[in-house]
């Protein structure tokens, strides 16, 4: 053994006196202590409380568009002439909520979030994470979450998440992960959908009607949840989410 090797071993011994590096069995791990580690982490997690829904809220615009109005709007736009009662017969939908001219995705989300916070019994200052998770948005930039934050009066870390129909579920997953890792304590995840803004009315033939038919069934709405540790709000509901992409 040369001088360098001897010095290295002495340095290792000084850092970890209980570590034997003299032979092939240089370290022995206590199996009982190792097995106890996952259980200790689980116990610690339960002691802090699971991440739950502290409150939920929803909001529907007051205005509604009936099946008869929808049919007439298609005809007025120069589209196909649908038989009377066709939309109701095909979908069972008599009417759907649509936003007013002064309502936006952020408006619907903020109204729902206010109700969720009231249900949770938390004040705006207690929210330190706000995620606007929606397919709709007010504008490309800045993030719609900032508009929602201004309406709510929160001062949280905020951002948008967009992943089509999975946006809201993805937002819940991200908020849960941030709370579990200590990056946030209470989060609002909100959605404001305004599909009425992108409905195509000039459906000129059967093929275009089939391609865009789903857009004639969607309504505008807002929804929100407040997430936090169990027992941290007025009420709590345990949740789990399993997402599977196909």
pLDDT of residue 198: 85
Q: Model-level pTM?
A: 0.73
Report the alpha-carbon distance of residue 142 to residue 73 in Å, rounded. 33
Residue by residue, what is the 3-state secondary structure of 18-82? CCCCCCCCCCCCCHHHHHHHHHHHHHHHHHHCCEEEEEEEEECCCCEEEHHHHHHHHHHCCCCCC
- Strand arrangement, sheet containing 51-59: 157-161, 129-133, 187-193, 221-229, 51-59, 237-238
| Phi, psi for residue 176 in degrees, rounded to 5 | -60, -45
pLDDT of residue 147: 97
Sign of the C-alpha dihedral computed for residues 90, 95, 97 and 99 taken in this order: positive
Cα–Cα distances (Å) from 226 to 18, 54, 72, 82, 118, in that order, read: 48, 5, 40, 43, 10
pLDDT of residue 121: 96
pLDDT of residue 227: 97
pLDDT of residue 112: 98
Report the alpha-carbon distance of residue 108 to residue 142 in Å, rounded. 18
pLDDT of residue 48: 60
Cβ(233)–Cβ(55) below 8 Å? yes
Cβ atoms within 10 Å of 136's Cβ, excluding its own: 23
pLDDT of residue 5: 45
pLDDT, one tens digit for every residue, the chain (246 residues):
544 444 443 443 443 333 343 444 333 434 444 454 444 444 444 446 799 999 999 999 999 999 889 889 888 888 788 888 888 888 888 999 999 999 999 999 999 999 999 999 999 999 999 999 999 999 988 999 999 999 999 999 999 999 999 999 999 999 999 999 999 999 999 999 999 988 888 888 888 888 888 888 899 999 999 999 987 754 444 444 444 433
pLDDT of residue 117: 97
Sign of the C-alpha dihedral computed for residues 141, 146, 148 and 151 taken in this order: negative
Cβ(62)–Cβ(221) below 8 Å? no
pLDDT of residue 140: 85
pLDDT of residue 212: 86
Residues contacting residue 96 through CB under 8 Å, at least 6 positions apart: 64, 65, 217, 218, 219, 220
């Amino acid at each position: 053994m040369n001088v360098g090797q001897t010095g290295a071993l002495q340095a290792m011994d000084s850092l970890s006196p209980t570590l034997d590096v003299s032979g092939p069995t240089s370290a022995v791990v206590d199996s009982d202590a190792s097995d106890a580690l996952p259980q200790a982490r689980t116990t610690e997690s339960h002691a802090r409380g699971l991440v739950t829904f502290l409150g939920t809220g929803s909001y529907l615009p007051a205005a509604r568009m009936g099946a008869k109005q929808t049919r007439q709007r298609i005809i007025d736009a120069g589209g196909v002439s649908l038989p009377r009662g066709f939309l109701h017969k095909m979908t069972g939908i008599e009417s759907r909520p649509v936003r007013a001219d002064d309502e936006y995705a952020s408006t619907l989300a903020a109204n729902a979030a206010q109700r969720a916070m009231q249900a949770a019994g938390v004040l705006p200052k207690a929210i330190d994470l706000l995620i606007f998770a929606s397919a709709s948005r007010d504008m490309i930039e800045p993030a719609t979450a900032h508009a929602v934050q201004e309406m709510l009066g929160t001062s949280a870390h905020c951002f948008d998440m967009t992943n089509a129909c999975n946006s809201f579920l993805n937002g819940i997953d991200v908020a849960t992960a941030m709370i579990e890792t200590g990056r946030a304590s209470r989060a609002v995840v909100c959605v404001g959908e305004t599909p009425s803004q992108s409905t195509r009315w000039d459906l000129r033939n059967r093929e275009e009607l089939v391609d865009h038919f789903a857009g004639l069934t969607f309504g505008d709405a807002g929804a929100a949840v407040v997430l936090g540790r169990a027992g941290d709000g007025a009420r709590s509901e345990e949740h789990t989410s399993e997402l599977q992409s196909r």
